[in-house]
Amino acid sequence: MDIGARIKSRRLELGMSLDDLGKRIGVNRSTIKRYEDGLIKNIPQKTVEMLAVALKTTPSYLMGWDSEKKQDDLQLDGEILLLAREMQKLPADKRNLLKNIIKTMSDIASGESEK
Is 70 exceeded by the pLDDT of residue 50? Answer: yes
CB-count exposure of residue 40 (10 Å: 0-12, 13-18, 19+) = middle
Q: What is the pLDDT of residues 57-70, one digit of tens each?
A: 989 889 988 766 55
pLDDT score of 73: 44
Q: Which band of pLDDT confidence, cut at 50, 70 and 90, is reported for residue 115?
A: low
Q: Is-contact 62 52, C-beta < 8 A?
A: yes
3-class state of residue 21 by DSSP? helix
The pTM for the full model equals 0.60
Q: HSE on the CB side for 22, CA within 13 Å?
A: 13
Q: What is the pLDDT of residues 3-42, one digit of tens each?
A: 999 999 999 999 999 999 999 999 999 999 999 999 998 9
Q: Is-contact 54 27, C-beta < 8 A?
A: no
Q: Which of 105, 53, 56, 43 is nearest to 82 (CA)?
A: 53
Q: Determine the Cα–Cα distance for residues 42 and 30; give it in Å rounded to an integer.
A: 16
